[in-house]
Amino acid sequence: MTINQEFRDVLREEGMRHTWQRQAVWDEIKSNDEHRDADDIFICLKQAGYPISRATVYRTIDVLVSHGLVRKLDIGEGRMRLEHKLDSHHHDHLICENCGRIIEFISPEIEALQSKISSAHGFALTHHVHQLFGRCLSYPDCDYYRSQNR
Amino acid sequence: MTINQEFRDVLREEGMRHTWQRQAVWDEIKSNDEHRDADDIFICLKQAGYPISRATVYRTIDVLVSHGLVRKLDIGEGRMRLEHKLDSHHHDHLICENCGRIIEFISPEIEALQSKISSAHGFALTHHVHQLFGRCLSYPDCDYYRSQNR
DNA sequence: GTGAGTGCAAAGTGTTTGCACGAGG
DNA sequence: CCTCGTGCAAACACTTTGCACTCAC
């Protein structure tokens, strides 16, 4: 997997150029595990003093996605959340509609059932989207938790 | 359930007015089981000769959704597909990336696992999005089927 | 040197909104 | 009548794109 390879080398292998812009976007996305969107990344880089443009951020994200370094997460907000794919296995998401917290979950049972359903319908499964929406009941910093416990 | 109630009555109960525009949008959505989008509905009505506007179609869809008569389906295309909720129980979707076919599936086992996962994470589940993307292997009118069988 | 990459601003896409007019109850 | 609903066009939010310039290799 390209994950542990130098970013510079990953690009070179595909005959793509290494630019500070691409490095900066990749570094920024890698730097934390929140599910930020393209504009968050753009703003962080701007604030850090990089003279980068929004277009480049979007284009770079597409490069990262097509190289399997980053995953786009569509939770129905009309914009894409981003997730780096370092050290992570496949997972799906629980999303708190109240505080926006996103929790990852893994369920081999569900994965197995998905395969079963797909083949039962004559489908060759390529990927899936599975998101559980609800409200935190156990996180003190979620407003909903607060409203339930006041 | 309001499903079998006259549409006129459904609206009246909420103190909303019955207009031919609302009736026409609802009739059009009810008229078939494809998962069309707002613009498809708008175009159908226009072609049928109704002098309706796109804004009204969008506004009416929101009314129908909030009354539980229609469900919006976001399959990551950047627009909403619509589904009337007549005579249907909850289901999720299998989507062919090749021909666009959408097949509904129901899995009580997955539903149960979702509840289990939610409570294990201290979440009160409100709804979920579960879509399986792949390719038809069994539908002769899907290009992918054709390409595999030529 | 030369073409891939960038920045800018403009275009795109699906959807929403402000406002004046029209019609349902 | 008196609102709620509608039509229109403009506004929106996010993302993509055309084009001239630039810089990585």
pLDDT tens for B92-106 read 999 999 888 999 999
pLDDT surpasses 90 at B145 = no
Q: How far is Cα B42 from Cα B28, in angstroms, rounded to an integer? A: 9
Residues lining strand C at under 7 Å (Cβ) are A 11, 16-17, 19, 21-22, 51-56, 59-60; B 8, 11-12, 17-20, 37-39, 54-55, 58-59, 62, 78-80
Q: How far is Cα A60 from Cα A42, in angstroms, rounded to an integer? A: 11
At residue A149, the pLDDT reads 46
β partners of residue B133: A127, B95
pLDDT band at A148 (very low <50, low <70, confident <90, very high): low
The more confident residue out of B145 and A39 is A39
Q: How many CB atoms lie within 10 A of CB B32?
A: 10
- Give how far Cα B87 sits from Cα of B38, B71, B83, Å: 21, 13, 11
pLDDT surpasses 50 at B132 = yes
Give every CB contact of residue A99 below 8 A, 6+ residues apart in sequence: A136, A139, A141, A142, A143, A144
At residue B7, the pLDDT reads 93
Mean pLDDT of A99-113: 95
pLDDT surpasses 90 at B58 = yes
- Give how far Cα A51 sits from Cα of A20, A42, B14, Å: 11, 10, 54
At residue B4, the pLDDT reads 67
State, as a whole number of angstroms, the distance between the CA of A19 and the C1' of D25: 11
The alpha carbon of B116 is separated from its chain's Cα centroid by a whole number of angstroms, namely 27
Q: Does A16 touch chain B (CB under 8 A)?
A: no
Cβ-based burial of A150 (10 A; exposed 0-12, middle 13-18, buried ≥19): exposed
Closest Cβ–Cβ partner in B105, B117, B129 for A107: B117
The backbone torsions φ and ψ at residue B50, rounded to the nearest 5 degrees and listed phi first, read -80, 130
Q: How many CB atoms lie within 10 A of CB B26?
A: 22
pLDDT band at B3 (very low <50, low <70, confident <90, very high): low
pLDDT surpasses 90 at B148 = no
Q: Does residue B30 contact residue B88 with C-beta atoms inside 8 Å?
A: no
Q: Does residue A93 contact residue B84 with C-beta atoms inside 8 Å?
A: no
Length of chain B: 150
Q: Does residue B71 contact residue B128 with C-beta atoms inside 8 Å?
A: no
Listed by number, the residues of chain A in 99-128 with a beta carbon closer than 8 Å to a beta carbon of chain B are: 103, 105, 107, 109-110, 113-114, 117-118, 121-128
pLDDT surpasses 70 at B76 = yes
Which chain A residues 17-36 have CB under 7 A to strand D?
A: 17-20
At residue A139, the pLDDT reads 67
Of A51-60, B97-106, B133-142, the range with the highest mean pLDDT is A51-60
The backbone torsions φ and ψ at residue B104, rounded to the nearest 5 degrees and listed phi first, read -90, 145
**Side-chain half-sphere exposure of A148, counting CA atoms within 13 A:** 14
Q: Does B79 touch chain A (CB under 8 A)?
A: no
